[in-house]
């Protein structure tokens, strides 16, 4: 199979650098083809601006969504963005690897998403009607492919537990896992998270490396997070509200969109 790792760390001699090497080596040992987009090493441009849309007239107002749609359809996105889109279409699995910075991904990786996940490619796909609301959340261009995060965090695992002061890790990563990866269709696997990553003691690397190797060996067999599909019956359309009776009564928030019960559909 084919695997793309999008790697966002400025220093190869970091814990992230070591984890990347371990992951690549194990994937290749399993016979997979691997490509790495090393955003810092490649000098990735992280902000969306006019330069992303060379066909926009000089005096034309930049409406980013419209410019993205037009450029994707016309094939006039910049060559760095087009190359990343080709890699995403090539890969059966996508891994985003990054250190947790201010409770989310580093800006360079967010900028990769902002620029590469173009209108018509990752969003704005499919029919919008009273029956369905676009091909998203489990459907879309990247459906049938898998994605997962490799994340390092300075905080302790307990700090990210259900009652931990930082908030639960699944909540913090929800906008990435659900909003960025599930949205264009990926089946999203549980993340691989290394806690207490600052001043990471070499003596701790052994078990972490073994766990990561195992996750790489099971990349194509691990059960994805059972997010609810938008167009499969769990939501009212067009209000996009979860149907009454689904989810724990009184529950609110991100966890509602994980189907721990099987939903109304047999899937």
Ligand X SMILES: Cc1cc2nc3c(=O)[nH]c(=O)nc-3n(C[C@H](O)[C@H](O)[C@H](O)COP(=O)(O)O)c2cc1C
Residues that bind ligand X (CB under 6 A): 9, 14-16, 99-103, 152-155, 197-198
By beta-carbon proximity to ligand X, the closer residue of 54 and 175 is 175
> Cβ 166 to ligand X, closest distance in Å?
7
Are the CB atoms for 227 and 184 separated by under 8 Å? no
Residue nearest ligand X, CB atom distance: 154
By beta-carbon proximity to ligand X, the closer residue of 152 and 230 is 152
**β-bridge partners, 146:** 93, 187
How far is residue 177's CA from residue 173's CA, in Å, rounded to a whole number?
6
> Cβ 214 to ligand X, closest distance in Å?
20
By beta-carbon proximity to ligand X, the closer residue of 97 and 231 is 97
By beta-carbon proximity to ligand X, the closer residue of 183 and 200 is 200
CA atoms within 13 A on the CB side of 16: 24
How far is residue 90's CA from residue 3's CA, in Å, rounded to a whole number?
8
CA 57 to chain centre: 33
> Cβ 12 to ligand X, closest distance in Å?
10
> Cβ 250 to ligand X, closest distance in Å?
30
Residue 234 neighbours by CB distance under 10 Å:
22
Residue 123 neighbours by CB distance under 10 Å:
19
């Amino acid at each position: 199979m084919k695997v793309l790792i999008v790697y966002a760390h400025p220093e190869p001699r970091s814990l992230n650098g070591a984890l990347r090497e371990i992951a690549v080596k194990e994937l290749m040992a399993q016979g997979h083809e691997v490509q790495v987009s090393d955003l810092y090493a490649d000098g990735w441009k992280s902000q969306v601006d006019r330069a992303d849309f060379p066909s926009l007239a000089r005096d034309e107002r930049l409406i980013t969504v419209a410019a993205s749609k037009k450029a994707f359809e016309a094939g006039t996105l910049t060559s760095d963005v087009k190359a990343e889109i080709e890699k995403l279409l090539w890969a059966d699995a996508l891994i985003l690897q990054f250190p947790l910075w201010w409770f989310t991904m580093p800006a360079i990786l967010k900028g990769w998403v902002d620029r590469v996940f173009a209108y018509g490619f990752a969003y704005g796909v499919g029919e919008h009607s009273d029956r369905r609301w676009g091909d998203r959340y489990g459907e879309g261009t990247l459906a049938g492919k898998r994605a997962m995060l490799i994340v390092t965090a300075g905080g302790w695992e307990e700090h990210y537990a259900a009652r931990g002061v930082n908030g639960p890790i699944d909540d913090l990563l929800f906008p990435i896992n659900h909003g960025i990866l599930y949205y264009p269709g990926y089946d999203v696997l549980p993340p691989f998270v290394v806690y207490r990553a600052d001043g990471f003691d070499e003596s701790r690397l052994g078990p972490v490396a073994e766990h990561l190797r195992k996750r790489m060996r099971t990349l194509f067999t691990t059960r994805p997070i059972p997010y609810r599909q938008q167009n499969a019956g769990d939501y009212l359309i067009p209000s996009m509200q979860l149907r009454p009776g689904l989810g724990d009564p009184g529950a609110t928030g991100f966890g509602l969109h994980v189907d721990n019960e099987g939903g109304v559909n047999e899937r």
